[in-house]
Amino acid sequence: MEITNVTEYEAIAKEKLPKMVYDYYASGAEDQWTLKENRNAFSRILFRPRILIDVSKIDMTTTVLGFKISMPIMIAPTAMQKMAHPEGEYATARAASAAGTIMTLSSWATSSVEEVASTGPGIRFFQLYVCKDRNVVAQLVRRAERAGFKAIALTVDAPRLGRREADIKNRFTLPPFLTLKNFEGLDLGKMDKVSDKCLINLNLNYPFTLPVCLPNGGIFLQTDDSGLASYVAGQIDRSLSWKDVKWLQTITSLPILVKGVLTAEDTRLAIQAGAAGIIVSNHGARQLDYVPATIMALEEVVKAAQGRVPVFLDGGVRRGTDVFKALALGASGIFVSIYI
């Protein structure tokens, strides 16, 4: 089959990937209204084309946080890419470098910051979830800095992970041959005292145990009598607030992009907190259902930013015309991910 557009990869992925893996990448939260709306909203935006303009020379290069890239299209963070292919984040890093654009590596990647850096030159950002244990956060950030990453994309829309019903039905688990590589080599405090036969459940919202591999090869299972539930519940800090954006600036000199903004009010707060940029995102519609499509929220955020920081967008982008629409509405660039 000859691929002519990005959407056609969906059918191939559904055919080739195990159902549990495909559904993890493809599904959104609850009714998946926002998942559909992320895409449908683009179709309601129309062009007013002007004619007889010289377009014989086209330059798509742009600058993001001072870095020149070949086009205003960058790679968004996507967790656990080796579920889709053994090369996983390695291949994404090489592809982004070859295309002359930026890759953002997920905290929950199946390749570490060091491994991605070892693939060769490239401009890379590091996506960060803030854990309750700030020592773990500081270690992650320092490793990203040492590996040559150029910015932190702070995800702020996931104090609790979204209720993705496909994952519930499939009883999603990370395959046992994979691990969350960025947690290797970290001082995980209390986690060190736990048996190597355990693994941590990163999603307490699901009504079942969802094990996720960590580098020791064991599994922390969330059970009432394991003593782990309180520890696991604190892994993603549900008390995250604007003061933590300021705190993050005290432990790193890297610019911080606040990822997960949908309103003018939060745009102004992000700028006040020192954000170097804003990513308009609804987490690929995987968090809170019935929030606006990102392209619908973009103009409000751009107006509130008033040019003080760049505004980027992710969610629902499938074609170059979608990119153009986002740019026309004030985005400085867009991020795309392998999530469908």
Active site positions, annotated: 283
The reply to whether 314 sits in an annotated binding site is: yes
Q: Is 79 annotated as a binding residue?
A: yes
Q: What CA–CA distance (Å, rounded) separates 291 from 285?
A: 8
- Please, which residues bridge with residue 261 across strands? 280
Task: Tell me: is residue 106 an annotated ligand-binding position.
Answer: yes
Instruction: Give dist(CA 273, CA 55) in Å, integer.
Output: 41
Tell me if 129 is assigned to a ligand binding site: yes
Q: Is 259 labelled a binding residue? A: yes
Q: 180, 153, 137, 114: which is closest to 283 by C-alpha?
A: 153
Output DSSP code: residue 77. Answer: P
- The reply, when asked if residue 77 is annotated as ligand binding, is yes
The answer to whether the annotation marks 196 as part of a ligand binding site is: no
What is the rounded CA–CA span in Å between residue 73 and residue 193? 44
> Is 286 among the annotated ligand-binding positions?
yes
CA distance 130 to 159: 9
Q: What does the DSSP assignment read for 248-314?
A: HHHH--S-EEEEEE-SHHHHHHHHHTT-SEEEE--GGGTSSTTPPPHHHHHHHHHHHHTTSS-EEEE
Q: Is 306 annotated as a binding residue?
A: no
Which residues fall in the annotated binding site for glyoxylate? Answer: 24, 129, 164, 283, 286
Which residues fall in the annotated binding site for FMN? Answer: 77-79, 106, 127, 155, 259, 281, 314-318
Which residues fall in the annotated binding site? Answer: 24, 77-79, 106, 127, 129, 155, 164, 259, 281, 283, 286, 314-318
